[in-house]
Amino acid sequence: MQTYWQNFIDADWADGGAGRAGVVNPATGAVLAEQAMADAADVDRAVQAARRVHESGVLTDLRPVERGRMVQAMGRYLLENRDEVAETLTLEQGKPLWEARREIENAARYFEYYGNQAETLEGRSIPLGGGYVDFTQLEPYGVSAQVIPWNFPLEIAARSIAAGVAAGNACVVKTSELTPLSSAYLARAAMAAGLPAGTVNILCGWGHEAGAALVSHPGINQAVFTGSVETGIAIARAAAENVVPCVLELGGKSAAIVHEDADLDAFEGDIRRGIYTNAGQVCSAMSRVLVHESLHDEVIARACAVAGALSVGPGVDRTEPGQGMGPMVSEAQRDRAAAMVAEAERAGARAATGGRAMNIPGAFLEPTVMADVTPDMAIAQDEVFGPVLSVIPFRDEAQAIEIANGTRYGLVAGVFTRDLDRATRAARRLRAGQVFVNEWFAGGVETPFGGYGRSGYGREKGREALLNYVQTKNVAIRTR
């Protein structure tokens, strides 16, 4: 582990005008390394470098297949250095080492997928009758400003960079101050792939300084953000001042509806993946289980068994896929989640298991299952962003849909039943951008992802995401 990490601007490593900040290992509370912190001047240099790339045509003049091959090469670099990158990611973020490896594989998959898509962006011919030729072109916006969260710093940055560059944009990426170190490997991947200098710029800085300077910069043409609703609103306002389009992937309070005919043995695996992956720090986590009242007690018991079987400790010691869970990203995040559990207990809910900070060094929270939760409680309405599952009973299908749709969010939802008609009815009525049937997190890089309501707008992943990075130009020619 190197002791000092710099920003990457215009294909060069650079210090930051805002000094340095310590990056903490959440499994121990010890400082891992120092990170250069960018200020507004650093942001301006990065944006200017990206603008030069766009205006020079050095990226857009390439044949799309050539650009796509460079995007794919970034993914291969990550895979070739997977062990080194995974250890850095685990040490700074906390997730088990096997989850870190999987995140790197997913990041590489984005580069593979969008690299393949680069030469599929085509316009169309529009018939206007004799004497005219009319057609459309899909052109990149220019400079894509991307603000990346700390929960999946490599994977989320990869999906934005890959789609942006494949479409011909230059990117300026602002990482989280909690997890900036692993993002340096994306910069190294860009260099290894041979991308023109200034195509990918990666810097870390405080949100109120570097983040605000980036999204309000008059030189950007598009903003992409994943994170909290509050920050997303601030970014949308800043972008609106410059009439810049946004893609916002915000929070969620996603519900799994478990009917009386569900396969509960299989559902135990969905609980493990849905709420305890990355210590519950997932926008699309299965944070609510709505279960038919006839199965309520059994599902509580099964969920407690899943939580109790988890081996909780430092991520670097959890190398094999299975039952391990690491710390939360920081003690502040852990304390916030624990406080929400305590508030729910005061409101009448019960921690069937877990719910407390663990009495060991690091930002560890016990895997938690909450019972006696009512739909109007804060624990059922607000995003915990931690390993806390709320279980709520329902009488019938109509009430289940009502409870599932009863929050301000609408990111994902799930239905667990052997009745396909019931599942498709629910899929039509659920207010969510993605609906899983009988498997939480079904889908992949190819499937569009994004929210309804306060979960944001625009789509990440899939073909739909690629279209976020281009705009349509019409060319009308009079031929006689």
The catalytic site residues sit at: 249, 283
Cβ contact 379:389 at 8 Å: no
Phi, psi at residue 475, to the nearest 5°?
-120, 120
Q: Around Cβ 323, how many Cβ atoms within 10 Å?
A: 15
Q: How many residues does the chain have?
A: 480
Tokens 């297949």 -> residue: 65
Q: What is the DSSP letter of 159?
A: H
Rounded CA gap, 248 and 464, in Å?
14
DSSP string, 440-476: TT---TTS-B--SGGGEES-BSHHHHHGGGEEEEEEE
Rounded CA gap, 108 and 112, in Å?
6
Rounded CA gap, 424 and 340, in Å?
34
Rounded CA gap, 439 and 291, in Å?
15
Q: What is the DSSP letter of 260?
A: T
Of the candidates 100, 204, 220, the residue with the CA atom closest to the CA atom of residue 164: 220
